[in-house]
Amino acid sequence: MAFFSDFEFTGGGILAKETGAQIRWSPAFARDALRIASFIGLVQGLRATRVVKGREPRAKISFFPKKPHSYYAIWPVCQLADVKIVDDPADADLHFFFEDREFRTAPLRAPTNKAAFNIGCHDIRKSVVSRVFGEVFGYSLTIDPHTHRGQAVEKSELNGKHDGRIIECPVDAPRSDRVYQRLVDNTFDGREFVDIRTPVVGGKTPFVYLKRRSRDLRFSNENHRVDLAPVDAMLSTDEQAKIAEFTKAMALDFGGLDVLRDREDGRIYIVDANKTDMGPPSALSNEDKLTAMRGLADAFAELVDERLKG
């Protein structure tokens, strides 16, 4: 199956070939895999029901240089938005740049001159995200490890590593493959760390996920709980406008952002941008997963209709 070709199976887990992300074998991993498979089956059933009823797709879309598997968020979104994924770019009404890597020296050209999503989003390395964030928001996440005094975060430039660690600055010899950032206290109570995972579609945020982690897992991708929350409850109108400006600067039409709110200064910080967002989070119930994907599908359908109008 094409799904398994993306992974290398090892004694201790699996390796995602494109991103280099390591996933450990564990009962939790097995449980999450079953949850994902269950949700995919649910979406397939809903789509099949629409096809049987004769519901026509609102548009046909091709992905390049590769198609998304069903564990990526855009797959259920297309199914629920009545957007048909096709193999032949000549048969498509729209295109979508989809590649699970952080950096290209230049964006790929779309297969035809029809509208395309994420076409200019070719560099999402953490240093780029930090730079664009500072330009848009007017305050910085990046620190100079040579001169900064006190604690900071050192992490890989690349996505999916989840290798952040707290260090003491100044640092005599910073690593060139790492970024150095302000240590954000993203807790509400000083104990539980909360990432505000922010899906974005055409500059709009339909809702947010609140990913809750314990102190020892704050830099990992393991959540002990995930909640859906209304965007207006977590982000102000001005913050949402700034996020839209940020996604425009990044050429990110569809994706997800990791946003942290600092308990000390009250401001938000965008620490990561992902153009090939996976999801929804496995910790959600199927009901909440479906609610989330329907919210994204409605926003994507609106964006598709806008692009088709030219």
Please state the domain extents for the chain.
Answer: 2-123+288-309, 126-274
Tokens of 86: 């096709």
Q: In this predicted structure, what is the pLDDT of residue 159?
A: 77
Q: Answer yes or no: CATH 3.40.50.720 is held by domain 126-274.
A: no
> Distance (Å, rounded) from C-alpha 63 to C-alpha 198?
23
From first to last of its 310 residues, the chain has per-residue pLDDT tens of 444 455 565 655 655 555 555 556 555 555 556 666 677 777 777 767 766 666 789 999 999 999 999 889 999 999 999 999 999 999 999 999 999 988 998 888 999 999 999 999 999 999 999 999 999 999 999 999 999 999 999 999 887 777 899 999 999 999 999 999 999 999 988 889 999 999 999 999 999 999 999 888 888 877 889 999 999 999 999 999 999 999 999 999 999 999 999 999 999 999 999 999 987 888 888 889 999 999 999 999 999 999 999 7
8 Å CB contact between 105 and 39:
no
Helix, strand or coil, per DSSP, at residue 108: coil
H-helix segments, 181-285: 231-234, 237-249
> Distance (Å, rounded) from C-alpha 161 to C-alpha 20?
7
Mark 105-121 as b/e (b = at least 16 C-beta within 10 Å). eebeebbeebbbbbbeb
Listing from the earlier edge strand, what are the strands of the sheet with 13-16?
Answer: 7-10, 13-16, 22-24
What lies within 8 Å, CB to CB, of 110 at 6+ separation is 64, 95, 97, 116, 119
For 75-213, strand residue ranges (E) read 83-85, 94-98, 116-117, 150-156, 165-169, 178-182, 193-201, 208-213
Q: Tell me the one-letter amino acid at 58.
A: R
Question: 149, 131, 152, 127: which is closest to 140 by C-alpha?
Answer: 131
